[in-house]
Chain A
C-alpha cells in the first residue's frame, strides 16, 4: 500500500509546492494571454515589418524546447527560480496563444473588417470592437488547453529551484528515500488541477461545436 505517512508528514511542503504551482500557472496564463494577443495582432497587422516580427517570434519560440527558454531566463536574467520560471513559461506559451488567437481572428470573415473600416472605425477600433469579440468564442477552448499545458509545464520550475510541487516532491523523495509513493502523491496533486480543467475544456468544445 501507499505510505500515507509520506503525505501527512510532509503536508506543509506538498501544499506549499501546490500553491506555487497554482500561482505560477495563473500568472503565466494572464501574462501569456496579453503577450499572445499582442503578437497575434502584430501577425495580422497591415504593416509588413510588424508582421514579420510577430511571425519570427511565433516560429522561433514554438520550435525550441520550453526548458531551454526557462534555463536561459534563469541563468542569463536577474531573477529567482519562480520568477524565471513564470517568465520562461510566458514567453513560450504566448507563441501558442498567439497562434490560437490568430486562427480565431482569421475565422471572422474578411468582409467584416472592410465594412467596419468603411464605416469610419480605425484598424485598432475595428479589431477591438468587431473582430475580437467574435474571435473569442473560437479561441476559448484552445486557451483552456494552453492553461492545462501551463500547469503541466510549470513543473519545470523544479529544475531552477522554483519551489513548485515537483521541486518539493524531489526534496521529499531525496530526504525520505521513498520515491515511488512521493511521486504518486505529486501526480495526484497535479491531477486535482488538470482533470477538472480537461473536463471543462471538453465541455466547452462540445457546446461550441453544437452552437455552430
Chain B
C-alpha cells in the first residue's frame, strides 16, 4: 500500500513539473527587436550565416581553416559595397535546419546559404532579390539505372537533407520512391558514397560541387524545380533588405557579380 502511495505522489509531482514546463513553452519571447542595420553599423561587423559543408558555395577548407565559396565571396563583396572597409564581414556556420532560428535570435545578421525563396519561408524571414537561379536535380553514380526523376520508382531510395525544400519536393514529384533524410549534405553525400541510396537530391548548384569532388558521380535528368536563392534577414528589416538589393544590383552592373560566379560555377 505504502509503495502505491509513494508512486502516486511521484506521478503527481511529475505532472506538476510537466505542467510547469508546458507553461514555459507557451510564453512568448519578450526579446526586444533592435534594428539589425543599426546594430551592424554600431558593432562595425556583419555576421553572415553560411554553409560550411557545401562545395562551391560555402566549404571549410581543412588545411587553411577558411570558408570558401560563392556565398562567401558574394557576401564579402556585398559588405564592401554597402559599408566600405569599415564593417568587417564575419562568418558563422548554418545548416538548412538552423539558419532561420539563428537569424531570428540575432546570432547572424543575414543568411547567404543556398536558401531558396518560397512563400512558406517568406512568413518567417525577409528575402532580398534572387541572387542565384538554381533548380533541384539528381546526383547518381555514373552508370546508374536512375537517369531522371521518372526512374524513381518504388524500388529506389532517394537521399535528402532534413529541413530542406528538396526533401518536400521529391516526395511530391516521386511519391513512390523511399526518402531518407540526413543532418547535412556531408552526411547525405557520405551515405550516397556508401550506397545507401540510388540518388541524392538537392539543388543542382550543390550537386555540381559534389560531382566535382568525386568524379564517379554525375547529375542526371536536368532540373525539375526552380530554386531561386535569396539572402534572408530577420523579418521587419526592410532597410537592410533595400541596402542589400542595391548592393547586389551594383555588383551585377559592375560585372563583379559575374566574376565571382564564373570563379565558382562552371556549367
Contact = CB atoms under 8 A, between A and B. Distances in A.
Direct touch of chains A and B (CB < 8 A): yes
A75 B191 contact: yes
B182 A174 contact: no
A159 B162 CA distance: 10
A161 B22 contact: no
A181 B23 CA distance: 11
Contact of A81 (B22, B168, B180, B190): B180
A170 B124 contact: no
B162 A171 contact: yes
B37 to A, nearest CB: 26
B26 A1 contact: yes
Contacts of B97: 174
Contacts of A75: 190-191, 194
Contacts of A179: 101
Given A1-B26, A159-B182, A177-B124, 15 more contacts: A2-B22, A74-B194, A81-B180, A81-B196, A159-B187, A161-B182, A161-B196, A170-B162, A170-B181, A171-B181, A174-B163, A175-B168, A177-B100, A184-B21, A184-B25
Nearest to A181: B25
B97 to A, nearest CB: 6
For the complex of A and B, list the 9 residue pairs with the smallest distance between their C-beta atoms, beginning with the closest: A174-B163, A161-B180, A75-B194, A1-B26, A2-B22, A174-B162, A180-B25, A170-B162, A2-B25
A78 interface: yes
Interface string B74-102: 00000000000000000000000100110
B151 interface: no
Most buried by B among A2, A76, A161, A177: A161
B118 interface: no
A1 B26 CA distance: 5
B195 interface: yes
B194 A76 contact: yes
B66 interface: no
24 contacts: A1-B23, A1-B25, A1-B26, A2-B22, A2-B25, A2-B26, A74-B194, A75-B191, A76-B194, A159-B183, A160-B191, A161-B196, A167-B181, A170-B162, A170-B181, A171-B162, A171-B181, A174-B97, A174-B162, A175-B168, A177-B100, A180-B25, A184-B21, A184-B22
Contact of B191 (A78, A161, A177): A161
B124 A78 contact: no
Contacts of A175: 168
A160 B181 CA distance: 8
A2 B7 CA distance: 26
Interface string B1-41: 00000010000000000000111011000000000000000
Nearest to B121: A177
Q: Interface size bucket, B side?
A: 20 to 34
Given A1-B26, A177-B124, A161 B168 contact: no
A161 B25 CA distance: 28
Interface string A109-150: 000000000000000000000000000000000000000000
Contacts of B180: 81, 161
Contacts of B187: 159
Contacts of B101: 179
A159 B101 CA distance: 20
A146 B211 CA distance: 43
B38 to A, nearest CB: 28
A118 B154 CA distance: 64
Contacts of A1: 22-23, 25-26
B162 to A, nearest CB: 5
B166 to A, nearest CB: 12
Contacts of B163: 174
B180 to A, nearest CB: 4
A81 B180 CA distance: 9
Interface in A35-83: 74-76, 78, 80-81
B25 A78 contact: no
B213 to A, nearest CB: 16
A107 B168 CA distance: 57
Interface string A162-176: 000001001100110
Contacts of A199: 7
Interface in B90-130: 97, 100-101, 124
A159 B97 CA distance: 14
Nearest to B22: A2
B194 A161 contact: no
